Structure 1
Amino acid sequence: MSCRVGFVWETPQHFSRYIEDCGAVCEVVTPHMLAAPFFRGQFTCLIIPTGFGNAKYTNLLPALRASSPRIERFVENGGNLLVFGAAADKAGAYDWLPFPVTYAHDFHPAQVRCEKGSPGADLIDDYDPDRIECDGSFPSHGGTCLGVTGSADVIIGYSLGKGKIVVTSVHEYPSREFLKKFCCQGEQTVL
């Protein structure tokens, strides 16, 4: 099976190379491509990096909102979706997801606790869990908590159809093992 990851951003980033170093083929999907009704990329995973909600970095949020039904179908049909922090105090930054998520922007190092063997623990496996950079938390959401700092959720999961969604405010690259598993366990699905 081929691991094909759609990295949603305007240009290639170092993160794209990191994904490829983890064994997946990575294709940059620009906001214009994502919002275009004729675009039909096939991926096992989509990654929305940190800063997607901050207009200083990108104009991605309108494209995510316009593509919300397609993204939902992608996950239902077996694709996995990894979403990072919006990096902006913007109400509704996650309103394009198929479940409710409220985000509070607050950049800080934190002790992150996860249940051993959970996707949250796998995501931070390459780091010292006592001091991980986070760019916020999720005070309310309709998912399952996979990682917490104090009483604030910082990693959440949600299953939809045959696919999975992980939303995190951890401001670090996910561990190599997490990326290998998460990106390659999804089914190659049309976006």
Structure 2
Amino acid sequence: MSCRAGFVWDSPQYFSRLIEDCGIACEIVTPQMLAAPFFRGLFNCLIVPTGFGNPRYSNLLPALRASSSRIEKFVEQGGNLLVFGAADNRTDAYDWLPFPVIYRHDCHPRSITCSGGSVATTILDDYDPGNIECDGSFPTHEGMCIGAAESSDVIIEHTCGKGTIVVTSVHEFPSRNFLKKFCCEGEQVTF
């Protein structure tokens, strides 16, 4: 069985090509598809890229909110969810997730220290962790801190049922190693 990722955005991006280059089938899931109750996709992982919360970049936030119960069900059944920075100063940008997360938008390079045995610690494998561009931090959340910078959490993880949610403000593509593991370790679940 092959790995399949749903890339949640309006159109294909370079990020979706990276996913495919890692040997993972990647399907673009537009906001209209995401919010449509009749849409059914079979994925191991859903990926929500940077900028989802900023109306200058996307119209994704209303669709994420409209599908919050479907997203939660997808993760509970074993699918994985990777979410990046909202890229906007809105404290409610992550209110569609099944656990509380508050985001503070603040874009600048940081030195990140990862800890724990989670696959999320490999997200920076292709980079120098001493100089990673981040678009914010998570001052309040109910996840587990996997990566911190300047005493602020920038990579958090939360288990929900049989699946895992990783939320990060790292403003770089995740490592190939991370993508291969995170996308393929999730169970194929109908969204």
Flag whether TM exceeds 0.5 (same fold).
yes
Match in the other structure for 1:160: 160
Is the counterpart of residue 185 in structure 1 residue 185 in structure 2? yes
Shift of 1:50: 0.1
Match in the other structure for 1:57: 57
Match in the other structure for 1:95: 95
Paired amino acid for 1:120: A
For residue 75 of structure 2, give the secondary structure of its aligned residue in structure 1.
helix
Paired amino acid for 1:146: I
1:12–1:28 CA contact under 8 A, matched in 2: yes
Distance 2:143 2:116 in 1: 19
Equivalence map 1:52-91=2 (5 Å): 52-91=52-91
Distance 1:79 1:95 in 2: 19
Matched pairs, number? 191
Calculate the aligned-residue CA RMSD, in Å. Answer: 0.8
Distance 1:120 1:76 in 2: 18
1:44–1:184 CA contact under 8 A, matched in 2: yes
- Segments of structure 2 that go 5 or more residues without pairing to the other structure are none
With structure 2 as the length reference, what TM-score do the two structures score? 0.98
Match in the other structure for 1:3: 3
1:4–1:25 CA contact under 8 A, matched in 2: yes
Percent identity reads 69
Shift of 1:119: 2.8
Match in the other structure for 2:137: 137
- Segments of structure 1 that go 5 or more residues without pairing to the other structure are none
Deviation sequence 1:91-144 (CA, Å, 0-9, x none): 210000000000000000000001165333200111001000000000000100
Distance 1:160 1:117 in 2: 17
Is the counterpart of residue 34 in structure 1 residue 21 in structure 2? no
